Amino acid sequence: MESLNFDLASSSLSDMNRFLHRDLADGDRRHVSVLNPDGAHNIAVGLNHPVTVEVHGHAGYYAAGMNKHATVVIHGSAGTGVAENMMSGTVHVKGFASNGAGATAHGGLLVIDGDAGLRCGISLKGGDIVVGGSVGSFSGFMAQAGRMVICGNAGDALGDSLYEAVIYIRGTAKSLGADAQFEDMTDADYAALAELLSKAGLDHDPKSFRRIASARSLYHWNADADQEY
């Protein structure tokens, strides 16, 4: 398979993104390497073909945002909003990710080997996120659908105002957010978790995780809420 290199020390990011958008044929499965990303923003955003993009270094904001079909591997850390609003495909961050990782992702799989910052998976809409390390506060806030696996610990207000997304956590959460609750793991949870861990290349025992989901008490307006202190 043809392989291509873009060295951002000598060519522009726009040229590379333009190539990934305009010059690929439908179903293009080529392998593209990005050298010297040096924290540039918007690397490999909005991809729409099953290419593989390997970023060799640290990526800036919104790397692989709005991804569709592509596989993007970042051999370094990722800035704010990695894989935000992903539709499908896979994004794998080998280092740590900053705030808002995988925000609003509709589909696809985001794997972060290191820690993720605050608000990881905020407003998740159907994507899957596996974090090898820990996540910051307000992760999974208002997550509507999809699954989030946290192998380490979580900060404050994990899963605040969850809808139907499910969180699996191996370590401890500093606190759960409003309406989030621990629930018993079912066989279906263990199977789903085993599959996600396997896809992420992690060999933790699914039995070591706990499930967090919505108590659904915020689903309906409670006119008496202010009387119930």
Residue 7 engages other proteins in binding (rule: CB under 8 A): no
Residue 137 engages other proteins in binding (rule: CB under 8 A): yes
Residue 125 engages other proteins in binding (rule: CB under 8 A): no
Residue 77 engages other proteins in binding (rule: CB under 8 A): yes
**Using CA of residue 124, residue 127, residue 128, residue 129, what is the dihedral sign?**
negative
Between 86 and 118, whose beta carbon lies closer to other proteins? Answer: 118
CB 24 within 8 A of CB 49: yes
Between 60 and 206, whose beta carbon lies closer to other proteins? Answer: 60
Position among 44, 63, 70, 118 found at the interface with other proteins (CB under 8 A): 118
In the region spanning residues 19 to 38, those forming contacts with other proteins, defined by CB under 8 A, are: 36, 38
Residue 81 engages other proteins in binding (rule: CB under 8 A): no
Residue 58 engages other proteins in binding (rule: CB under 8 A): yes
For residue 131, what are its two tokens? 């974090």
Entry field: residues in the chain: 229
Between 37 and 146, whose beta carbon lies closer to other proteins? Answer: 37
Residue 98 engages other proteins in binding (rule: CB under 8 A): yes
Residue 99 engages other proteins in binding (rule: CB under 8 A): yes
Residue 171 engages other proteins in binding (rule: CB under 8 A): no
For the CB of residue 135, give the shortest distance to other proteins in the complex, in Å: 12
Please report, as ranges, the residues that interact with other proteins according to CB under 8 A.
Answer: 36, 38-41, 57-58, 60-61, 76-77, 79-80, 95-96, 98-99, 117-118, 136-138
